[in-house]
Amino acid sequence: MTTVLAEFPSEAALVDGLARVRAEGHVPLDAMTPYPVAELTDAFGPAPARIRPAMLMAGLAAAALAYAVQWWSALFDYPLNSGGRPLHSWPVFLLAPFEVGVLAAAVAGFIAFLRATGLPRLNHPAFDVAGFERASQDRFFLLARSREGASVRTCLEDAGASVVSELRP
Q: What radius of gyration do the chain's Cα atoms show?
A: 26
pTM assigned to the model: 0.69
CATH of domain 3-47+123-166: 3.30.70
Cβ atoms of residues 93 and 67 within 8 Å: yes
The 10s digit of each residue's pLDDT in 70-129 is 999 999 999 988 888 888 888 989 999 999 999 999 999 999 999 988 888 888 888 889
Share of the chain above pLDDT 70, in %: 99
> For residue 119, what are the contacts with CB-CB under 8 A and spacing of at least 6?
113
Helix-helix angle 95-117:51-72, to 10 degrees: 150
Looking at residue 149, its pLDDT comes to 64
Q: For the chain, give every domain's residue range.
A: 3-47+123-166, 51-117
